[in-house]
Structure 1
Amino acid sequence: MRTLAASPAFSLGFRPFFLAGAGFAALAVAVWALWLYGRLPGAQPIGGMLAWHRHEMPFGFATAIIAGFLLTAVPNWTGRAGLSGWPLIGLVSVWLIARLAWWLPISPMVLLTMQLPFLPLLAWCLGRDLLAARKRENYPILLMITLLAGCQMMTLWGILTDDVGFQRHGVLAVLWLVAALMSMIGGRVIPFFIQRGLNRPAPAATHPLATRVLLLGGMLAALSFAAGLNDTPRGWLAALYLLLGGVHLLRLWRWHDRGIWRVPLLWSLYLAYVWLVAGTLAMALWHAGWMPQQSLATHALAVGGIGGLILAMIARVSLGHTGRLLQPSKTVVLGFVLLVFAGLCRVLLVPFSGVGLGLSALLWCTAFGLFLTRYTGILLKPRV
């Protein structure tokens, strides 16, 4: 048992959570697609497959990656030792038990009690270090995790009470919160990655206004979803999403360097961020009455934006924090390409053909599967 706690796999948060999150991303979408096409008969999870899919993609997949990233980044920001050994094993176990609970013969109320502890525990682990180091500029991260926990409670309550509308509002709210959190983290690390990856001079410090607008705007968008205000088109919400999309575009323009197109770890991040722009502007178009399906904007954000940023980020962070060269294999680069096409199929092909959803799911699962084939060994072995 001591050997397990001392193993490289539990030396820092990114190792177990990146592996668990990537594996779950491939498995969960495969299960969802097989069920949709009638290839997975038999027992369903509590609340049904749609409720399970809605909950598990943000609160199972995305939060695992967020936990892995923050449990690795916060020690760098604070200079304090990161969570490792048995405490990290315990946190991973809480996440894993929550994933398995959906398929156990338990009551819905027991399911709820098994789902809720993870995010508060994560907030506590991060908060004690940030508060001890007085890193006030990072306190918004704790607020975001608290809001994620609130959205999870809302979603689970909708499942328990069989209130589909309440459930949907909670899921869409958390989607925009995750996008806001990623835009905040992306604004911090993507310019740094570009500067280091292309050996450019350090850029001048940028004004924090863009980050604040995207963070506050994302929280306002999430609040509007939680309140059900996005159920019908509204002009002021079209203006909000147009503003957010414009700020995202301004960021892309500032970050662009022709050299990024030669470096897979950079263009993968850049293209994924383009999907954030697409999803945000698509919401503006829907509220303006120029787009027929709101779900196209939602899945542009979820598949291309959040999925793409996650895959590119975990590929880069895993190499950097294990002391390896920042050169992903051709297999992983193929995964980056496949995920871009997964987003395109989900948004452009699904409205015209039922094959689009299955193809998108296949590309998504293959992309994360390719990551696992190349990175499992890296994440389980010591730093070189």
Structure 2
Amino acid sequence: MAPRPTPWSLAHPLWLCPFRPFFALAMLSAWLLMGLWGGFLLLGWPLPVVPGGPFVWHAHELLLGFVLAALAGFVLTAVPEFTGTPPFAAGPVRQLVLLWLLGRLAFWFSGWWSGPALALSALAHLGLLAGLMALLAPRLWRDPDRRHLSFLWTLLALAAVVAALYFDALRGISPARWLHVLVGVFMALVVVAMSRISMSIVNASIDELAARQGEELAPYLARPPRRKLALLTIGLFMLAEFWQAGGPVSGWLALAAACALLNLLNDWHVGRPLLRRWPLMLYAVYLLMAGGYALIGVAVLTGAFSPNAGLHLLTTGVLGLSIYVVICIAGYTHSGLEKGARPWVPLGALLLGASALLRVGAYAGQAPAMMGAAALLWGAAFLLQSAHMLPVFWRPRADGASGCAGITTS
């Protein structure tokens, strides 16, 4: 018998498709990082010493660890599908994974080896983003209609913010303001990505119901004007908050973003097909985003509570739930498995929703206890997902196919 390939070997099933290693890293980092954070909040566990303190470590690792891994897995799998081009080779993907791991290690040691470790972390993160753009840009640009260039512009914005973040950190300035900007960039990316994902998921639900009823139903359309208005208001709020955090302009623009996102949800009101698990979970992502910006706006304009309540609805709720759902949808479909009839999926989504609400409530109640409970629920959701999906990524495709194609039948 031939020796079984090791996980680092490109012959291992882990490297069949770019989403496999990156989604695995996203899931593992989700509950490991949140477990450390919950231990810090509830038990006083020590965290890695980094410039800016434990809260900067927490936000940095959530955004540039967990979210960036999920983003890399998504775009490297989705762009070939959207542009009708072959999957990316495993070799460059493994190099990007190594840069992600190097970024984690270097940042965690930045408190003890400040300048060199920070510089290495910056190079690793910027190298990862540059590598993503180098792989994606030719395909996005050669697409006849250039319909998906927004992914490239978002990655460019992300790289610029990461460069500014590390520029401040290397000068001894807290990078916290840039971490807030990163949240806005990721919110814009969620809107861009959701318009593509929802076209498939919501229309599949409509088609299934139409087939059962024997009648034709109107399709779902993700209308560009509504999406562009949402992106514009998110961007304007992000700029206003950067230049004058907590000012009245920021408050009104946050409310404008909430209204634009609620307007965007009007596209989703397609009747009964919306009430199925996959469309409903994606709908909840936009609802949480609208709620997050609304809370920020009310908090800034009234001073009744901290704007961080809304900020954490965006991070804990929007980023957590959107990544969880995308990993389920893409992870099963592109591994040759049906994604339906899996009762653990809605359970995990409910855990994430409860975690987000607890995190918001922490600003009005028993803060440490509620923050710790929120961390435990959030970690539990991704631990549940890891238990079910890591074995899928570790094995060959269930349908015997190779690469990243959707479910194939013989």
Count matched residues: 379
- Alignment partner of 1:35 out of 32, 37, 40: 40
The DSSP-based 3-state class of the residue aligned with 2:340 is coil
- Quote the Cα distance in structure 2 between the aligned partners of 1:48 and 1:135: 46
Question: Could you say which residue in structure 2 is the equivalent of 1:175?
Answer: 183
Gap change, CA 1:138 and 1:348, over 3 Å in 2: same
Deviation at 1:38, TM superposition (A): 4.1
5 Å-filtered alignment, 1:134-149, equals 134-149=144-159
Structure with max Cα Rg: 2
Q: Which amino acid is the alignment partner of residue 120 of structure 2? A: T
Is the Cα contact below 8 Å between 1:51 and 1:159 reproduced in 2? no
- Alignment partner of 1:293 out of 294, 302, 306: 306
Q: Which runs of 5+ in 2 are unaligned?
A: 211-216, 400-410
Is the Cα contact below 8 Å between 1:173 and 1:221 reproduced in 2? no
- Alignment partner of 1:371 out of 370, 377, 385: 385
Deviation at 1:178, TM superposition (A): 0.3
Q: CA RMSD in A?
A: 2.3
State whether structure 2 residue 392 is matched by structure 1 residue 381.
Answer: no
Question: Could you say which residue in structure 2 is the equivalent of 1:70?
Answer: 75
- Quote the Cα distance in structure 2 between the aligned partners of 1:30 and 1:46: 21
- Alignment partner of 2:9 out of 1, 4, 9: 4
- Quote the Cα distance in structure 2 between the aligned partners of 1:108 and 1:260: 54
Deviation at 1:232, TM superposition (A): 2.6
The DSSP-based 3-state class of the residue aligned with 1:288 is helix
Deviation at 1:39, TM superposition (A): 3.6
Gap change, CA 1:262 and 1:140, over 3 Å in 2: closer
- Quote the Cα distance in structure 1 between the aligned partners of 2:331 and 2:48: 37
The DSSP-based 3-state class of the residue aligned with 2:302 is coil
**Identical aligned residues as a percent:** 26
Is the Cα contact below 8 Å between 1:6 and 1:85 reproduced in 2? no
The DSSP-based 3-state class of the residue aligned with 1:29 is helix
Larger fraction in helix:
1
Runs of 4 or more above 4 Å deviation:
none
Question: Could you say which residue in structure 2 is the equivalent of 1:358?
Answer: 372
Question: Could you say which residue in structure 2 is the equivalent of 1:128?
Answer: 138
Is the Cα contact below 8 Å between 2:223 and 2:267 reproduced in 1? no
5 Å-filtered alignment, 1:232-311, equals 232-234=246-248, 236-259=249-272, 263-289=276-302, 291-311=304-324
Is the Cα contact below 8 Å between 1:241 and 1:283 reproduced in 2? yes
Deviation at 1:19, TM superposition (A): 0.9
Q: Which moved more, 1:181-190 or 1:128-137?
A: 128-137
Is the Cα contact below 8 Å between 1:109 and 1:160 reproduced in 2? no
- Quote the Cα distance in structure 2 between the aligned partners of 1:334 and 1:4: 35
Gap change, CA 1:202 and 1:117, over 3 Å in 2: farther
The DSSP-based 3-state class of the residue aligned with 2:76 is helix
- Alignment partner of 1:218 out of 234, 242, 247: 234
Deviation at 1:322, TM superposition (A): 1.6
State whether structure 2 residue 14 is matched by structure 1 residue 19.
Answer: no
Q: Which moved more, 1:129-138 or 1:69-78?
A: 129-138
Q: Which runs of 5+ in 1 are unaligned?
A: none
Gap change, CA 1:99 and 1:285, over 3 Å in 2: same
- Alignment partner of 1:87 out of 89, 92, 99: 92
Is the Cα contact below 8 Å between 2:129 and 2:155 reproduced in 1? yes
Alignment TM-score, normalising by the size of structure 2 = 0.85
Deviation at 1:69, TM superposition (A): 0.8
The DSSP-based 3-state class of the residue aligned with 1:362 is helix
Question: Could you say which residue in structure 1 is the equivalent of 2:119?
Answer: 112
Question: Could you say which residue in structure 2 is the equivalent of 1:184?
Answer: 192
- Quote the Cα distance in structure 2 between the aligned partners of 1:206 and 1:122: 26
Alignment TM-score, normalising by the size of structure 1 = 0.91
- Quote the Cα distance in structure 1 between the aligned partners of 2:339 and 2:113: 45
- Quote the Cα distance in structure 2 between the aligned partners of 1:58 and 1:206: 27
Q: Which moved more, 1:116-125 or 1:89-98?
A: 116-125
Deviation at 1:44, TM superposition (A): 2.9
Q: Which amino acid is the alignment partner of residue 158 of structure 1? A: D
- Quote the Cα distance in structure 1 between the aligned partners of 2:121 and 2:85: 30
Cα deviation code 1:96-150 (max 9, x no counterpart): 1111222345443443333331112111111122123355222221111111112
- Alignment partner of 1:151 out of 158, 161, 170: 161
Is the Cα contact below 8 Å between 2:18 and 2:90 reproduced in 1? no
Is the Cα contact below 8 Å between 1:60 and 1:95 reproduced in 2? yes
Q: Which amino acid is the alignment partner of residue 189 of structure 1? A: I
Deviation at 1:330, TM superposition (A): 2.0
- Quote the Cα distance in structure 1 between the aligned partners of 2:380 and 2:220: 39
